[in-house]
Amino acid sequence: MRSYTIAVLAGDGIGPEVMQQADAVLAAVEDRFTLTFERRPADVGGIAIDNHGHALPQQTIDTCREADAVLFGSVGGPRWESLPPDQQPERAALLPLRKTFGLFANLRPAIIFPQLRSASPLKPEVIGEGLDVLVVRELTGGIYFGEPKSRTADRAVDTMVYTRREIERISHVAFQAARKRNGRVTSIDKANVLANGVLWREVVTEVAAGYPDVELGHMYVDNAAMQLVRNPRQFDVILCGNMFGDILSDEASMITGSLGMLPSASLSSSSVGSTAQPVFGLYEPSGGSAPDIAGRDLANPIAQILSLAMLLQYSFGLDEAYEAILNAITSVLDDGWRTADIMSDGCRLVGTADIGSRIAAAVRDR
C-alpha cells in the first residue's frame, strides 16, 4: 500500500474548521483507493505566534521539510493586526514558506461548476455550461524581484528581469498541467514593447516543441484581460510572468463569483503530477481567514477540499482521486446543497460540517 506524508497547517480563522472537512474527504479517498496518508499537524500564523512567539516556528518548517506536500489553511485576524507588518501572520508565515522551499510556480484554477453559473457576474451565454481555467504564474522573478530598485523624491525605478532558466521551468509546469487537462496553453506577454516579453515568447515557443500534444497560443496581456471577460471559455491553461499572473489570476477568480470555491497550489518542481516521486508543493484556498464567520459553521470548505484535490493530482499523480473529489462536489451541488456564499433560490442551505460530510460520503460511495 502506497503511503504519503502531508504536513497539515490549519492556521487561523476558518482554517481549522474547513481543514477538518478536507481531512474527512481525505479519509474517504483512503477508503476508496486503498491509500494511506500520514497527517502531521503543525502551527502556523497567529496560533503559532500565540504558542511559539513566531508565525512560522522552526518546528513547523521541519515538519514541512519532512513531508511530501503541505496542505495550508489560512492565517491572520484582528488579534495580530497591532504587530509590526513584518511580524503579522500573513507576511511572516506564507512568504517565508515560499522562499524556504523554492516555490516558484503558482497554479490557480478558476472553476465555475454548471450548478453555480448564476453566481458569476458574467452573462449565462458567456459562461455556457461552466468554466475551468488554470492560471500558471511564475512566482519568484519579474518586476517584483528585479534589480536595481531605487527611489528618489521625483523618480522611482523597478526592473523587470527574466532569465531563460526561469521561463523554461515555469513553461514546463504549464505544459505538463495542460496534458492533464484539455491540452491548450495560452502564453501571456507584452512582446510588442518589452524586451523580456520577446525572450519570454521565444523560450516558451522552444519549450512547446517538446510537447507536440499541447496546443500553444500567444496573447498580449491587455488583450488577455479583455478576453477573460469577453470569452473565458477559449482558455485552458494561461501561462504568465509574475506581475501579469498576479493581475490575471485575480481577474479570473472573480468571474467565478465566490472565494469559497477557489483553490491554489505553489510548486517547487517543473515535474508535476508524477506517480514515481512526490512533487513538493503547498496547497491552500485563495480566500482569507474570514475571522468574522470563524467557528460559526458558516464557511464554505470547498476551496480547501479542492486544494486537497490539487495536492493529490499535482504532488502525488493521483488523477483518479482528484476526479473522484471533483465528481463528489458536482454530485452534492447537483443535489442542491449550498453554503450561504453560494446559496440560490430552490437550493438547501447547510453549514460547513454538513456539506463537507456530504462530499466525503460521495467520494466514498460513488
* Per-residue pLDDT tens over the stretch 46-77: 999 999 999 999 999 999 999 999 999 999 99
Cell of 298: 458558516
Alpha-carbon distances of 71 from 141, 252, 315, 318, rounded to whole Å: 24, 23, 11, 16
pTM value? Answer: 0.93
Q: Which of 255, 282, 300 is the last residue of a domain?
A: 255
The answer on 147 and 40 residing in a single domain is no
Where does residue 262 rank: exposed (0-12), middle (13-18), buried (19+ CB within 10 A)?
buried
What band does 82 get if pLDDT is binned at 50, 70 and 90? Answer: very high
The residue from 132, 180, 220, 246 that is catalytic is: 246
The answer on 126 and 2 residing in a single domain is no
The residue from 31, 62, 250, 334 that is catalytic is: 250
In this prediction, residue 272 carries a pLDDT of 77
For residue 89, pLDDT beyond 70: yes
For residue 14, pLDDT beyond 80: yes
Return the half-sphere exposure (C-beta side, CA atoms, 13 A cut-off) of residue 212.
0
The answer on 239 and 125 residing in a single domain is yes
The residue from 132, 144, 220, 354 that is catalytic is: 144
The answer on 245 and 277 residing in a single domain is no
In this prediction, residue 259 carries a pLDDT of 75
The residue from 50, 222, 297, 365 that is catalytic is: 222
The answer on 336 and 300 residing in a single domain is yes
Q: Report the number of distinct structural domains present in the chain.
A: 2
Return the half-sphere exposure (C-beta side, CA atoms, 13 A cut-off) of residue 104.
22
Please name which of 311, 249, 321, 255 lies closest in space to residue 280, comparing C-alpha atoms.
Answer: 311
Tell me which residue range forms the domain holding 195: 121-255
* CATH code for the domain of 28: 3.40.718.10
Distance CA 222, CA 299 (A): 35
- Known active-site residue 246: yes
The answer on 128 and 92 residing in a single domain is no
In this prediction, residue 366 carries a pLDDT of 74
3-class DSSP string for 131-147: EEEEEEEECCCHHHCCC
The answer on 206 and 129 residing in a single domain is yes
Mean pLDDT value of segment 360-366: 93
The residue from 68, 190, 211, 341 that is catalytic is: 190
- Known active-site residue 222: yes
The answer on 353 and 272 residing in a single domain is yes
In this prediction, residue 273 carries a pLDDT of 63
- Known active-site residue 144: yes
Write out pLDDT tens, residues 125-151.
Answer: 999 888 999 999 999 999 998 999 999
Summary mean pLDDT of the chain = 95
The answer on 146 and 207 residing in a single domain is yes
What band does 1 get if pLDDT is binned at 50, 70 and 90? Answer: low
Distance CA 224, CA 298 (A): 35
In this prediction, residue 275 carries a pLDDT of 61
